[in-house]
C-alpha cells in the first residue's frame, strides 16, 4: 500500500533536513590543511596561498600542518585517515597522490581513500646544468651525454618523485644513459650543483629559478608541453626533435578523506572554484611560476590520465622502493 502523498512529501523533506543543516553548519571550526612536506617548498607555498583564500571564502581560519616524510606519503596517509567532516583537508602533489603507489609497496592508501575536490595549479620542472658541465642548450647536453654513456649524473629530490620521473622521461626520449642521484630534498641537490659536484639536475621551476636568474645554473629546458609564461626565454624540452612528447609538470590538488558528505564537498568545490577565479590568488600563484587551474577540470579523469603516464615511465626506469 502506497503512503499518503502528504506523508511521502514529509518523509522526503525530513531526509533532506539533515543534509541542508549540514551544509549550513559547515564549517563549524578551523580547517586544517595538511601538507606532506616541510615549510618552504612548492607544496607548502601553494597550501599557504590557498589557505589564505579559503579562509576568506569559508569564514574560518585555515591552519597549515606540515607533516614531512616518505616523499609526502605520511601527510597523505594522515589525511586519508581523518574524520570525513571537511575540517581536515590535504594539498597533495604528484608524488604522494599519483606516483608513490606505483613505486613503493609500503604505501597503504589509494585514490579511493580520498574525496577529490579540485586541481589547484601546476608548474613545470626545469632541467639544469652546473656551469662546470660546459653545456648551454639541449643540443650540447644530448651530445655530451651521448658521447660518454654512464659518465654523467643528474640529481632529483628523491626516488619516485615527479622530478625523478621527468629526468627518466628525458633519458628515454633521447636514448641517454645517465645515473640518477637521489637527494633528500631540493637544498642538498642545489648545494651539489652549485658546488660543481654534480653535472645536471631537475628542479620544480620555482625552486630552480633563483639560481638560474643569478647565473649560477644553466637552464636547458622546462618539462611541460609549452614554455612557462614566467620564463618565455627558457625553451620547453619538447620543442627539441629528440625530446618530442615530453610533458610532465608538478601539480597540486585539494582533497579530503573519502566519504565527505555531499553538501560539504559541494561547498568546498564552490569555494575552490571562486578562489581559482580570484585575481589576487592568480597573481600570487603566477608570480611563483604556477599556472592556476581551470575550475572546470574533472579531477578524477585528470588523475587517472596522470597515473597511466607515470606507470609507463616507472616501467621504463624500473623504479621501485
pLDDT digits (tens, 9 = 90+) for 40-88: 778 899 999 999 999 999 999 999 999 988 878 999 999 999 999 999 9
Number of domains in the chain: 2
- Asked if residue 282 has pLDDT above 50, the reply is yes
Cβ atoms within 10 Å, residue 144: 18
Percent of the chain at pLDDT above 90? 73
Does one domain contain both 170 and 180? yes
pLDDT digits (tens, 9 = 90+) for 222-274: 999 999 988 999 999 999 999 999 999 999 999 999 999 999 999 999 999 99
305 half-sphere exposure, CB direction, 13 A CA radius: 8
Instruction: Indicate the residue among 192, 217, 243 that finishes a domain.
Output: 243
Does one domain contain both 74 and 140? no
Question: What CATH number is associated with residue 57?
Answer: 3.40.190.150
Does one domain contain both 231 and 271? no
Does one domain contain both 161 and 110? no
Q: Give the CA diameter of the chain.
A: 86
pLDDT at 20: 53
Kindly tell me the sign of the dihedral angle through the C-alpha atoms of 228, 234, 239, 244.
negative
Instruction: Indicate the residue among 243, 278, 298 that finishes a domain.
Output: 243
**CB 36, CB 76: distance < 8 Å:** yes
Report the alpha-carbon distance of residue 96 to residue 65 in Å, rounded: 16
pLDDT at 17: 42
Residue 228, class by beta-carbon neighbours within 10 Å (0-12 exposed, 13-18 middle, 19+ buried)? buried
- Asked if residue 145 has pLDDT above 70, the reply is yes
Cβ atoms within 10 Å, residue 248: 25
- Asked if residue 121 has pLDDT above 80, the reply is yes
Does one domain contain both 39 and 104? yes
Which range marks the domain in which residue 204 is found? 124-243
Name which of 11-15, 149-153, 294-298 the model is least confident about: 11-15
DSSP 28-57: -SPEEEEESS-TTSHHHHHHHHHHHHHHHH
Does one domain contain both 256 and 292? yes
Helix (H/G/I), strand (E/B), else coil: 252: strand
Query: Residue 6 — φ and ψ, nearest 5°?
Result: -65, -35
Does one domain contain both 76 and 181? no
> What's the whole-model pTM score?
0.82
Integer-rounded Cα Rg, in Å, for the chain is 22
Report the alpha-carbon distance of residue 202 to residue 166 in Å, rounded: 8
Report the alpha-carbon distance of residue 304 to residue 316 in Å, rounded: 19
Does one domain contain both 166 and 192? yes
Determine, yes or no, domain membership for 31.
yes
Does one domain contain both 134 and 224? yes
Does one domain contain both 282 and 230? no
Instruction: Indicate the residue among 218, 243, 268 that finishes a domain.
Output: 243
Tell the residue number behind the cell numbers 571550526, with chain if given.
29
**CB 37, CB 44: distance < 8 Å:** yes
Amino acid at each position: 500500500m502506497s503512503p499518503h502523498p502528504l506523508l511521502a512529501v514529509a518523509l522526503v523533506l525530513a531526509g533532506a533536513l539533515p543534509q541542508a543543516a549540514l551544509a549550513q553548519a559547515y564549517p563549524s571550526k578551523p580547517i586544517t590543511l595538511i601538507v606532506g612536506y616541510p615549510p618552504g617548498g612548492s607544496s607548502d607555498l601553494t597550501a599557504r596561498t590557498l589557505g589564505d583564500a579559503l579562509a576568506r571564502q569559508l569564514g574560518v581560519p585555515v591552519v597549515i600542518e606540515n607533516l614531512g616524510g616518505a616523499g609526502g606519503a605520511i601527510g597523505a596517509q594522515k589525511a586519508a585517515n581523518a574524520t570525513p567532516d571537511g575540517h581536515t583537508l590535504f594539498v597533495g602533489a604528484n608524488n604522494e597522490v599519483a606516483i608513490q603507489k606505483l613505486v613503493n609497496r609500503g604505501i597503504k592508501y589509494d585514490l579511493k581513500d580520498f574525496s577529490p575536490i579540485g586541481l589547484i595549479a601546476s608548474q613545470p620542472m626545469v632541467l639544469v646544468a652546473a656551469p662546470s658541465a660546459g653545456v648551454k642548450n639541449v643540443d650540447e647536453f644530448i651530445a655530451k651525454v651521448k658521447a660518454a654513456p654512464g659518465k654523467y649524473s643528474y640529481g632529483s629530490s628523491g626516488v619516485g618523485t615527479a622530478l625523478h620521473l621527468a629526468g627518466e622521461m628525458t633519458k628515454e626520449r633521447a636514448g641517454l644513459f645517465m645515473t640518477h642521484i637521489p637527494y633528500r630534498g631540493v637544498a642538498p641537490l642545489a648545494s651539489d650543483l652549485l658546488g660543481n659536484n654534480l653535472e645536471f639536475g631537475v628542479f620544480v621551476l620555482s625552486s630552480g629559478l633563483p639560481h638560474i636568474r643569478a647565473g649560477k645554473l644553466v637552464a636547458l629546458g622546462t618539462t611541460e608541453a609549452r614554455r612557462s609564461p614566467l620564463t618565455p626565454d627558457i625553451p620547453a624540452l619538447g620543442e627539441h626533435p629528440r625530446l618530442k612528447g615530453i610533458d610532465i609538470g608538478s601539480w597540486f590538488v585539494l582533497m579530503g578523506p573519502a566519504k565527505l558528505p555531499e553538501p560539504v564537498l559541494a561547498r568546498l568545490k564552490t569555494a575552490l572554484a571562486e578562489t581559482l577565479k580570484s585575481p589576487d590568488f592568480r597573481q600570487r600563484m603566477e608570480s611563483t611560476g604556477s599556472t592556476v587551474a581551470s575550475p572546470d577540470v574533472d579531477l578524477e579523469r585528470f588523475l587517472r590520465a596522470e597515473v597511466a603516464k607515470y606507470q609507463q615511465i616507472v616501467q621504463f626506469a624500473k623504479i621501485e622502493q
